[in-house]
């Protein structure tokens, strides 16, 4: 297994530790773990492309690892009352729609690549989680939590936009 794939796998392995730290109220530890896991997302992709180490495992696991990490945090935030369930439902609906389209395309031998807007969506989601965790680490600091909400709403807008863009750009999948 190459280094980028190890970094991706490491991101998945950090998730249970992140969840445990959060649930025990160790928000600084949760913040550090989430940041460390998020940083691996940048480095695994950069290293894979730079050193021509792109693999099928990485193509599948990298976006899945991002989703496991971010959506775990969002589930915790719902339980804590930081975000509303409908917000996660919007995000999951987009992900299921895109996953379905990719599955149909794959069955026809086509690969639907991620767009820039989808990458921006992921970054905004990660930044929102980091800001929320920082706010919790500072004792639920109101101004920081407000910034987290602003970034998270931007992530929601980008989620809807990137989903619509992806569907429009790949509408021929529906005619297969």
Domain of 64, CATH number, reads 1.20.120.1760
- 68-126 pLDDT, tens digit per residue, is 999 999 999 999 999 999 999 999 999 999 989 988 888 888 877 778 999 899 999 99
User: Which pairs with CB-CB distance under 8 Å and at least 24 residues apart come from 99-103?
Assistant: 101/166, 101/167, 101/170, 101/173
Does the predicted TM-score (pTM) go above 0.85? Answer: yes
Range of the domain at 150: 3-175
**How many separate domains does the chain show?**
1
- 112-138 pLDDT, tens digit per residue, is 777 899 989 999 999 999 999 999 999
CA 16 to chain centre: 16
DSSP 8-state assignment for residue 171? G
- Confirm if 86 and 155 have CB atoms less than 8 A apart: no
For 146, other C-beta atoms within 10 Å of its C-beta total 12
Tokens 């991002």 -> residue: 66
State yes or no: pLDDT of 29 exceeds 90: yes
- For the chain, the helix, strand and coil percentages under 3-state DSSP, each to the nearest 5: 85, 0, 15
| pLDDT at residue 176, rounded to an integer | 57
């Amino acid at each position: 297994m190459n280094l980028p794939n190890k970094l991706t796998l490491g991101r998945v392995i950090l998730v249970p530790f992140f969840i445990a730290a959060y649930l025990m109220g160790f928000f600084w530890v949760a913040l550090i773990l989430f940041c460390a896991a998020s940083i691996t997302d940048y480095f695994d992709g950069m290293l894979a492309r730079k050193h021509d180490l792109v693999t099928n495992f990485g193509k599948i696991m990298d976006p899945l690892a991002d989703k496991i990490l971010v959506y775990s945090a969002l589930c915790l935030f719902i339980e804590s009352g930081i975000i509303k369930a409908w917000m996660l439902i919007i995000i999951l609906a987009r992900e299921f729609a895109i996953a379905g389209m990719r599955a149909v395309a794959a069955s026809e031998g086509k690969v639907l690549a991620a767009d820039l807007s989808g990458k921006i969506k992921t970054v905004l989601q990660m930044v929102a989680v980091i800001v929320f965790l920082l706010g919790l680490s500072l004792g639920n600091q109101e101004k920081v939590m407000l910034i987290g909400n602003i970034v998270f709403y931007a992530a929601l807008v980008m989620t809807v936009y990137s989903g619509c863009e992806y569907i429009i750009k790949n509408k021929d999948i529906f005619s297969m």
